Amino acid sequence: MSKSSTQKYPIDPAYLDFPNMSFSNNLWKLRFTNLFILATRFRYKWDPALNVTEHQIQGEDNNSVKIIEIARKDIAADAPALVYFHGGAFFLTYAGLHLDNAQMYALEANCKVFMVDYRLSTKAAFPAAQTDSQAAVEWAFDNAASLGIDKEKIIVIGDSAGGGIAASCAQMTYDRNKNRTEKINLLAQFLLYPVCDCETKTETAKNFVDTPLWTTNNNKVMWDVYLRDSDYKKGVTGASIPEYASPIHREDLSGLPPAYIEPTEFDPLRDEAINYAEALQAAGVPVTLVEAKAAVHGYEFVDCETTRKYRKIRMDELKKVLSN
Query: Tell me: the pLDDT tens digits for 194-227?
Result: 999 999 999 999 999 999 999 999 999 999 999 9
Query: Tell me: the pLDDT tens digits for 29-44?
Result: 999 999 989 988 888 9
pLDDT at residue 52, rounded to an integer: 98
Q: Give the CB-side neighbour count of residue 272, counting CA atoms within 13 A.
A: 30
What is this structure's pTM?
A: 0.96
pLDDT at residue 39, rounded to an integer: 86
Query: Tell me: the pLDDT tens digits for 59-103?
Result: 999 999 999 999 999 999 999 999 999 999 999 999 999 999 999
How many angstroms separate the CA atoms of 262 and 176, rounded? 27
> Is the pLDDT at 2 greater than 80, yes or no?
no
Average pLDDT of the segment spanning 120-147: 98
> Is the pLDDT at 3 greater than 60, yes or no?
no
For the chain, what is the mean pLDDT?
Answer: 95
In 3D space, the residue among 35, 60, 191 whose CA is nearest the CA of residue 129 turns out to be: 60
What confidence category does residue 4 fall into, taking pLDDT thresholds of 50, 70 and 90? very low
Average pLDDT of the segment spanning 303-314: 97
Which domains are seen in the chain, by residue range?
3-323 (3.40.50.1820)
pLDDT at residue 7, rounded to an integer: 60
What confidence category does residue 294 fall into, taking pLDDT thresholds of 50, 70 and 90? very high
Instruction: For the chain, state the CA radius of gyration.
Output: 19
> Is the pLDDT at 19 greater than 90, yes or no?
no
> Is the pLDDT at 1 greater than 50, yes or no?
no
Query: Dihedral of the CA atoms 203, 227, 230, 134 (nearest 10)?
Result: -110
Average pLDDT of the segment spanning 34-55: 93
How many angstroms separate the CA atoms of 117 and 93, rounded? 8
Active site positions, annotated: 160, 267, 297
SS3 sequence, the chain?
CCHHHHHHCCCCHHHCCCCCCCCCCCHHHHHHHHHHHHHHCCCCCCCCCEEEEEEEEECCCCCEEEEEEEEECCCCCCEEEEEEECCCCCCCCCCHHHHHHHHHHHHHCCCEEEEEECCCCCCCCCCHHHHHHHHHHHHHHHCHHHHCEEEEEEEEEEECHHHHHHHHHHHHHHHHHHHCCCCCCCCEEEEECCCCCCCCCCHHHHHCCCCCCCCHHHHHHHHHHHCCCCHHHHCCCCCCCCCCCCHHHCCCCCCCCCEEEECEEECCCHHHHHHHHHHHHHCCCCEEECCEEEEECCHHHCCCHHHHHHHHHHHHHHHHHHHC
What confidence category does residue 8 fall into, taking pLDDT thresholds of 50, 70 and 90? confident
